[in-house]
Chain A
Amino acid sequence: MRKTESNKAWLLVLPVFLLVAFSAIIPLMTVVNYSVQDIFGPGEAYWVGTEWFKEMLRSEDLRGAFVRQVIFSATILVIQIPLGIAIALAMPAKGWAASLSLVLVALPLLIPWNVVGTIWQIFARGDIGLGGWFVNDMMGIGYNYTADSLHAWITVVVMDIWHWTPLVVLLCYAGLRAIPDAFYQAAAIDGAGRWKVFRYIQLPKLRGVLLIAVLLRFMDSFMIYTEPFVLTGGGPGTATTFLSQQLVKIALGQFDLGPAAAYSIIYFLIILAASFVFYNIMVRVGRGDRA
């Protein structure tokens, strides 16, 4: 759409700016202030310069959490995106079956995150949970997610797939429904097979929504906190402690305000860089679609 040039439009954006600024800028300033001081209480602090940054960047806990975080985010993206596309392709396009599938798929998204943790905490337990019982007794694997790091890790990944693949499904489903029937008819005339239709018609048309899906899934998995907190508490040991959990541990658990603030800034800068890259790719793809 051609847009009118007008700086008066700022007046319409102002309420949003003020509201978000209140909740975003003041805390951000505070975090920056805290990150260079040793805080004993309001107004009682002394300057330490970049000491906390140094400490945090070199801390094994943070580096470990960062590595686990990257592996986790990569794992769930690699599984959720193809799975989401596949389910969206398999879902019926119209009728009551389509409505029913949509409602069912959306269900996990509307469950509070701590309840998601609770559901899996119960479901995966060997003694009272169906899932844990099945793996243990039917498949004969000594599965116990509270004691074995690998099992805990797999449980968290499966939980995330359960929880968030629906988002990818819904995005792709919406993208697929936006493809005009004429495209499919043309493909049928050309005698294109199932795979060719997917590769040359559906996938290119899904580019926009897939980008949003990758962006949202990457960002949201990067800040995952509540679900693993309830499910494993970050354990056993630190096996499932990701960045947010580590941060909350320092900030609210140990109340080390300075280091927590330095940590927050490092974390935030990583998010900022990733957002910027994604945003620019998205704008570029958006432009290509319109041209």
Chain B
Amino acid sequence: MRLRYLALIVYFGFLLLPIYWLVNMSLKTNVEITSGLTLWPQNLTFANYVTILTDQSWYSGYINSFIYVAMNTAISLTVALPAAYAFSRYRFIGDKHMFFWLLTNRMAPPAVFVLPFFQLYQTFGLFDTHIAVALAHCLFNVPLAVWILEGFMSGVPKEIDETAYVDGYSFPRFFLFVFMPLIKAGIGVTAFFCFMFSWVELLMARTLTSVAAKPIGAIMTRTVSAAGMDWGTLAAAGVLTIVPGVLVIYFVRNYMAKGFALGRV
């Protein structure tokens, strides 16, 4: 028993140390960072955070990221809900092949698509817009959403559908007012996963934007300049990208385990 907790503590230490180090650096001045190793900030400073939160070219990156992540989550859920219902309730021509095809898009390396994406979105006049990144991220988030939601929906007995239809519910009314409340937790978990994968992806987001919709991840590369690395600001920007994730995890912590268990074929 004691060994078990010791192992856990070691593992959590391994998880948290690199993050602690980032936070630590974000609260130091660049002079302190480069002049020697200090385990905690000797001259505590919030200047790095002030730089990011007051400079429009910095904080706009966060706003851009939030906009396309929100768009992506909304789109993914809207289209995935009916599709997942179809997969969980009906058998139709090519259903298995369709599901497999969706899954391959989740597995395909973004690098394969990046090249034509640039031109595709340019052609449709979507380059450097939030919706472009949101649509591109649908490539892997929609299949994932269908996959997880299908698992949750299969857990709802079919008798509920049948009773509702007998009671005279139309499909849209049944779906919105009876069925969706039943799988609330599943929708929450799916939204969490969509948020997560859209938030952490950078290759596509960077390729499809230049100025107006540039994500924070791409802006962070700015800290490399002729004058050397601006480590403090880089670390502060990194810490700020972790904060939304922490908040989201906190809200879904009780459903998270369930979501993983049910997300199956």
A1 contacts B21, C-beta separation under 8 Å: no
Question: In the assembled complex, which residues on chain A have CB atoms less than 8 Å from the CB atom of B238?
Answer: 115, 118-119
* Docked CA distance A247–B109 (Å): 10
Binary interface encoding of chain A residues 185-198 relative to chain B, with 1 for a CB under 8 A from any of its CBs, else 0: 00000000000000
- The contact of B109 among A13, A87, A267, by CB within 8 Å, is A267
B166 CB–A CB distance under 8 Å: no
Main DSSP-derived SS at the A contact region: helix
A110 contacts B83, C-beta separation under 8 Å: no
A77 CB–B CB distance under 8 Å: no
The A-B contact count (CB < 8 A) is 292
B113 CB–A CB distance under 8 Å: yes
Question: In the assembled complex, which residues on chain B have CB atoms less than 8 Å from the CB atom of A139?
Answer: none
Interchain nearest-CB distance for A267 vs B (Å): 6
Binary interface encoding of chain B residues 114-149 relative to chain A, with 1 for a CB under 8 A from any of its CBs, else 0: 111101100000000000000110110011001000
Binary interface encoding of chain B residues 195-229 relative to chain A, with 1 for a CB under 8 A from any of its CBs, else 0: 01001111100010000000011001000000000
Question: In the assembled complex, which residues on chain B have CB atoms less than 8 Å from the CB atom of A30?
Answer: 115-116, 119-120
* Docked CA distance A110–B245 (Å): 5
B80 contacts A110, C-beta separation under 8 Å: no
A56 CB–B CB distance under 8 Å: no
B184 CB–A CB distance under 8 Å: no
A152 CB–B CB distance under 8 Å: no
- The stretch from A44-52, A141-149, A271-279 touching chain B is A271-279
Question: In the assembled complex, which residues on chain A have CB atoms less than 8 Å from the CB atom of B200?
Answer: 109-113
A103 contacts B253, C-beta separation under 8 Å: yes
Known contacts A12-B83, A131-B18, A178-B261; decide if A111 and B111 are in contact (CB<8 Å): no
A6 contacts B90, C-beta separation under 8 Å: yes
- The contact of B19 among A34, A103, A107, by CB within 8 Å, is A107
Number of interface residues of B (CB under 8 A): 98
* Docked CA distance A220–B222 (Å): 27
Number of interface residues of A (CB under 8 A): 95
Interchain nearest-CB distance for A289 vs B (Å): 9
* Docked CA distance A264–B114 (Å): 10
Which residue of the partner chain A has the closest CB to B197?
A: A109
Interchain nearest-CB distance for A83 vs B (Å): 8
Question: In the assembled complex, which residues on chain B have CB atoms less than 8 Å from the CB atom of A283?
Answer: 96, 265
Interchain nearest-CB distance for B230 vs A (Å): 12
B79 contacts A115, C-beta separation under 8 Å: no
B173 CB–A CB distance under 8 Å: no
A118 contacts B234, C-beta separation under 8 Å: yes
Interchain nearest-CB distance for B29 vs A (Å): 13
B261 contacts A19, C-beta separation under 8 Å: no
B92 contacts A31, C-beta separation under 8 Å: no
A209 CB–B CB distance under 8 Å: yes
Question: In the assembled complex, which residues on chain A have CB atoms less than 8 Å from the CB atom of B67?
Answer: none
B235 contacts A31, C-beta separation under 8 Å: no
* Docked CA distance A219–B147 (Å): 16
Which 9 residue pairs across A and B have the least CB separation, nearest first? A110-B245, A223-B109, A9-B90, A174-B261, A174-B260, A27-B116, A12-B86, A30-B116, A9-B86
Chain B positions near chain A (C-beta within 8 angstroms): 4-5, 7-8, 11-12, 14-19, 21-22, 25, 33-34, 37, 39, 75, 78-80, 82-83, 85-93, 95-96, 98, 100, 102-117, 119-120, 135-136, 138-139, 142-143, 146, 154, 158, 196, 199-203, 207, 216-217, 220, 231, 234-235, 238, 241-242, 244-246, 248-250, 253-254, 256-261, 263-265
Chain A positions near chain B (C-beta within 8 angstroms): 1-10, 12-13, 15-17, 19-20, 22-24, 26-27, 30-31, 34, 86-87, 90-91, 99, 101-115, 118-120, 122-123, 127-131, 133, 162, 166, 170-171, 173-175, 177-178, 208-209, 212, 219, 222-223, 225-226, 243-245, 247-248, 251-252, 257, 260-261, 264, 267-268, 271-272, 274-276, 279, 282-283, 286
Identify 12 residue pairs between A and B in the complex whose beta-carbon atoms are under 8 Å apart, listed by A's number.
A13-B92, A31-B116, A102-B249, A107-B245, A110-B199, A114-B202, A122-B21, A123-B17, A128-B33, A177-B261, A223-B109, A261-B115
